[in-house]
Amino acid sequence: MKHLISLQDFSQKEILELIELANKFIDEEGNIKSESIFPDKRILTLFCEPSTRTKISFEIAAKSLGCHVINFDASNSSLSKGETLQDTVDTLAQMDIDLCVLRHSDAVIEDLINHIRKPMTFVSAGEGAFSHPTQGLLDLMTIHQHKGLENLNILIVGDLDHSRVYQSFTDGIKHFNSSVTLCGHPDLCTKVDSSKLKYESDLDKAIEGKDIIMALRIQHERMDGQIDQISYIEDYQVNEQRLQKANPNAILMHPGPVNQGIEITEAVYKSKQSVILDQVANGVAMRMAILTKYLSQ
Ligand code: CP
């Protein structure tokens, strides 16, 4: 049984196949095509951290494929009475769940898989700062839609230390002939391995000539202290002036949720170059493709 925990072991072929399949679930007007392919499958969404995009898009994706969806409400579950996550998934697996979409603040899925008594497929909906593979795939799909995936100069700017999105995206884009530059406040980029990826601390330099600007959220909930927002905005906010230094047809991405007025300005969020809402829309089709792949094994 295969699970989707990270993109580390994905090949270029697997990524392109998923993008192709996801595109088949979008009609000519850009709407999702429902196909009741899996009417007998039960999908559990088990989110132990808040989510808007990932949770709802998985639910819509699963329902569009004809699946039954069971939404686990962590805060009103027996987790709040002290039941362990392992006992929780063992309990739920007994109820004939085919696939569990799981989000957690720690990397827990591998351990759950190793100890679960009745196997079910796991798909990560984001684990700690480690991995968010379905976001990585929808980001690659969005870039593919607008620019292809080859010969691009890509900038990722923001809170890299706490970003699972950046981990999964770089695991995927490494299969393509595009270059990635990382940028962010040095205090938020302490874990960046500059022997593997290019790092530039000056955003005004880093943004020059880039085709893709991916801004990342400052993850206050994963930080011990606070950052100085005023100096952060001054040095690291993607605003109209800075965006003009990128290539004229550059696109602006952000996985969301956005701290409006911090990582990016409202004006660039709403600009023609922003594909942030395309990322959201592509999330449904990509998650339909992912569910199709992992329910078909
Ligand atoms: N990008 C992302 O994972 O957003 P949500 O937290 O809203 O799911």
Task: Report whether pLDDT(93) > 90.
Answer: yes
pLDDT of residue 229: 86
Q: Locate 19 and state its tokens.
A: 């993008």
pLDDT of residue 107: 97
Q: Could you give all domains of the chain from N- to C-terminal order, each with its CATH number?
A: 12-132+280-295 (3.40.50.1370), 133-275 (3.40.50.1370)
Residue 132's alpha-carbon distances to 7, 37, 39, 170, 225, in angstroms, are 8, 26, 27, 11, 24
255 lines ligand 1 (CB under 6 A): yes
Evaluate whether 180 touches 59 at the Cβ level (below 8 Å): no
Q: How confident is the model at residue 221 (pLDDT cuts 50, 70, 90)?
A: confident
Helix (H, G, I), strand (E, B) or coil at 178: coil
54 lines ligand 1 (CB under 6 A): yes
Task: Tell me the Cα Rg of the chain.
Answer: 19
Question: What is the distance between the alpha carbons of residues 29 and 212, in angstroms, rounded to a whole number?
Answer: 25
219 lines ligand 1 (CB under 6 A): no
CA of 36 to the centre of ligand 1 (A): 26
Atom of ligand 1 nearest to the CA of 52: 7
- pLDDT tens digits for range 115-141: 999 999 999 999 999 999 999 999 999
Question: What is the distance between the alpha carbons of residues 81 and 34, in angstroms, rounded to a whole number?
Answer: 39
Chain mean pLDDT for the chain: 96
CA of 260 to the centre of ligand 1 (A): 15
Q: How confident is the model at residue 266 (pLDDT cuts 50, 70, 90)?
A: very high
Q: What is the mean pLDDT of residues 101-111?
A: 97
Residue that the structure tokens 């004809």 belong to: 66
Atom of ligand 1 nearest to the CA of 49: 6
282 lines ligand 1 (CB under 6 A): no
126 lines ligand 1 (CB under 6 A): yes
Q: Specify the length of the chain in residues.
A: 297
158 lines ligand 1 (CB under 6 A): no
105 lines ligand 1 (CB under 6 A): no
Atom of ligand 1 nearest to the CA of 132: 3
Nearest to 155 by CA among 255, 252, 283: 252
Q: What is the mean pLDDT of residues 49-62?
A: 98
- pLDDT tens digits for range 179-216: 999 999 999 999 988 888 899 999 999 999 999 999 99
Question: What is the distance between the alpha carbons of residues 181 and 173, in angstroms, rounded to a whole number?
Answer: 12
- pLDDT tens digits for range 231-261: 999 999 999 999 999 999 999 999 999 999 9
Substitution site in 54, 55, 60, 167 for ligand 1 pocket (most atoms within 8 Å of beta carbon): 54
Q: Whose CA is nearest to atom 6 of ligand 1?
A: 51
**SS3 annotation, 115-146:** HCCCCCEEEEEEECCCECHHHHHHHHHHHHHH
